[in-house]
Amino acid sequence: QCLGAGQFLGRSISPLWYADTLLAAGCGAEHPLLEFLQKLGYRGFVVGYQFANSDGIHGWLTAEETQVFFTYLQDLDLPQFEPSFAAMDRFRSDWNYLEPGAYSFEQVSLAFLRTVTGMAVAQSRGVLWGNDVSTYLKDLP
């Protein structure tokens, strides 16, 4: 029930990587955004990692949780761009991301998460956090 396509947010990071960015934006330690990030970071322990130290499914949000998460993310001062994977890809140059103006890479990455979350909401879907998770389908006999 999650959005099918994926977006690179940073090399081997976890959702809790955004905690300092959120605290700097005025979100206290009890802010609901941090609870949603914990679900994205730890709910996947139910199914475990595929292999290696940080690869595999970390966590997910249901469609209902994604809607609430997106509402909170809209309040943040982050880069704005059209809600599409093509728009996010325009920030990439030779496997590196360009920082738009006064925003840090962490803020750009969080803006990508907000954008993907908004795209999921538009399709009544949830979001999944994974590192090196295969996104192809294989026909089974």
Q: Is 105 exposed, middle or buried (0-12, 13-18, 19+ CB in 10 A)?
A: middle
**Residue 99 has what DSSP assignment?**
P
For residue 76, CA distances in Å to 30, 54, 62, 124, 140 come to 16, 27, 22, 22, 44
* H or E segment to which residue 17 belongs: none
Confidence of residue 141 (pLDDT cuts 50, 70, 90): very low
* Total H helices, total E strands in the chain: 5, 4
pLDDT at residue 134 in the model: 58
Which of the two residues, 85 and 28, has the higher pLDDT score? 28
Residue 101 in this model has a pLDDT that exceeds 90:
no
Note the pTM of the prediction, 2 decimals.
0.79
Give per-residue pLDDT as tens, 44-71: 776 655 555 666 677 889 999 999 999 9
Q: Does the structure show a pLDDT above 70 at 2? A: no
Name the more confident of 9 and 24: 24
